[in-house]
């Protein structure tokens, strides 16, 4: 079976070497040697020094919202994974959806100001499939209206924008290290924050509010990354570049195939160094998408309708209609995209895409 992504697993001996260190240290939870080592290596690899490792990619969204958004209204995108909206609602904030740009698929910054009310405290936007939002314009709007900016950068491992890590933008950025993502620790994640005071607060909050063994800085929760997950991260990290390079080749192959069809790919923002994490294709209509999906499924190839549905249509949301996001989410399919897809599989996908017109 060929799924949309395939989890990268490092050679088992290399994972075992780290496990032996854990067995020797007897430290398997938090704050161990491997946790420090992964933290240092990621800071270096990502060129982003202000990182906190977390248990997954959703808890850092919740913590950032808890600290920065109060219980206010949060301007957000309907075109993301459900975690983005769920975190807002879970933290007793109110999501205010702003439609997306039809080509970049990120929140349409030109529509943000019209949605701002007195109750607004923050903007939570997603860099969709690693494609950056218009961070400069969002920053300008946020400063003008006194709003905080949180980026769901779950897809952005290794992405750079104008020469620096995309994680450096916004008050807080978050990443996911879930097994389906380009770098993973099984499950895991991180949050990034350049402001030292806010960083400290986020750090305490992710560890029960602990300032020291006997002192609490305030309310906190448990979002810590374990030593076992750190071991997986350390074993996977050396292979990330080897995983990204072949993806670039597959990307070029798919691009060629698209030229022969009426299908569109996401438009990447200028100045981005992308990580080739997904290959989303936009069909002319839903019928065309479903037909292609069916043919691929018959060939045991399982692309994924991602992101679907548009989040303003979730059952627990009283959302208004958002034309572009709803239209795109009905017509977008993420093609199977990982390093060791073989040429025969690729040809099969290409033929189907072209023939399904």
Ligand X SMILES: *Cc1c(COP(=O)(O)O)cnc(C)c1O
Interface with ligand X by CB under 6 A: which residues?
A: 56-58, 80-81, 83-84, 126, 152, 154-155, 176, 178, 187, 189
Tokens of 269: 């923002």
Contact assessment for residue 18 and residue 186, using Cβ atoms and an 8 Å cutoff: no
User: What element of type H or E holds 75?
Assistant: strand 73-76
Q: Which residue is nearest to ligand X (CB)?
A: 57
Each as own residue / partner, the long-range contacts of residues 12-15 (CB below 8 Å, 24 or more positions apart, any chain) are 14/235, 15/231, 15/232, 15/235
Q: How far apart are CA 152 and CA 32, in angstroms?
A: 27
**Consecutive H or E run containing 324:** helix 323-331
Nearest approach in angstroms of CB 264 to ligand X is 21
**Closer residue to ligand X, CB minimum distance, 66 or 350:** 66
Q: Give min distance, CB of 188 to ligand X, in A.
A: 7
CA distance 320 to 322: 6
**HSE (CB half, 13 Å, CA atoms) of 316?**
11
Please, which residue, 222 or 284, has the CB nearer to ligand X? 222
Q: Among residues 56 and 336, whose Cβ is nearest to ligand X?
A: 56
Q: How many CB atoms lie within 10 A of CB 270?
A: 8
CB 180 to ligand X: min, Å = 7
CB-nearer residue toward ligand X: 157 or 350:
157
126 or 352: whose CB is closer to ligand X? 126
**Minimal distance in Å, beta carbon 352 to ligand X?**
25
Q: Are 352 and 295 in contact (CB under 8 A)?
A: yes
* Minimum distance from residue 157 beta carbon to ligand X (Å): 11
Q: In the complex, what is the shortest distance from the CB of residue 126 to ligand X, in angstroms, rounded to a whole number?
A: 5
E strand map for 105-214:
120-126, 148-152, 160-161, 164-165, 172-176, 189-192, 210-212
Closest distance to ligand X from the beta carbon of 301 (Å) = 21
Task: Return the number of the residue (106 or 134) whose C-beta is nearest ligand X.
Answer: 106
Element housing 330 (H / E): helix 323-331
126/134 with CB nearer ligand X: 126
């Amino acid at each position: 079976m060929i799924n949309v992504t395939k989890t990268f697993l490092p050679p088992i001996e290399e994972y075992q070497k780290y496990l032996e260190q854990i067995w020797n240290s007897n430290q398997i939870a938090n704050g161990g040697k491997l946790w420090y080592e992964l933290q240092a290596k990621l800071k270096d690899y990502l060129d982003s020094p202000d990182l906190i490792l977390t248990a997954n990619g959703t808890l850092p969204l919740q913590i950032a919202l808890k600290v920065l958004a109060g219980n206010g209204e949060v301007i957000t995108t309907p075109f993301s994974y459900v975690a983005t909206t769920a975190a807002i609602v879970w933290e007793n904030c109110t999501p205010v959806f702003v439609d997306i740009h039809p080509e970049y698929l990120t929140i349409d910054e030109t529509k943000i100001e019209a949605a701002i009310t007195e109750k607004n405290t923050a903007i939570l936007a997603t860099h969709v499939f690693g494609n950056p939002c218009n961070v400069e314009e969002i920053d300008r709007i946020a400063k003008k209206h006194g709003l905080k900016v949180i980026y769901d950068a779950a897809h952005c491992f290794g992405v750079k924008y104008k020469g620096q890590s995309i994680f450096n933008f916004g008050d807080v950025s978050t990443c996911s290290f879930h097994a389906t993502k380009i770098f993973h620790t099984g499950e895991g994640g991180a949050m990034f924050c350049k402001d030292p005071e806010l960083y400290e607060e986020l750090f305490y909050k992710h560890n029960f509010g602990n300032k020291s063994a006997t002192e609490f800085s305030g309310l906190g929760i448990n979002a810590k990354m374990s030593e076992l997950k750190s071991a997986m991260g350390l074993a996977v990290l050396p292979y990330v570049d080897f995983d990204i390079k072949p993806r670039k080749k597959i990307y070029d192959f798919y691009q060629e195939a698209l030229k022969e069809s009426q299908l569109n790919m996401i438009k990447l923002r200028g100045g981005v160094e992308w990580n080739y994490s997904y290959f989303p294709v936009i069909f002319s209509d839903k019928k065309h998408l479903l037909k292609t999906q069916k043919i691929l499924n018959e060939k045991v190839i399982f692309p994924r309708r991602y992101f679907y549905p548009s989040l303003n249509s979730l059952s627990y949301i009283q959302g208004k209609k958002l034309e572009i996001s709803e239209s795109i989410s009905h017509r977008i399919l993420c093609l199977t995209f990982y390093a060791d897809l073989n040429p025969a599989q690729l040809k099969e996908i290409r033929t189907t895409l072209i023939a399904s017109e």
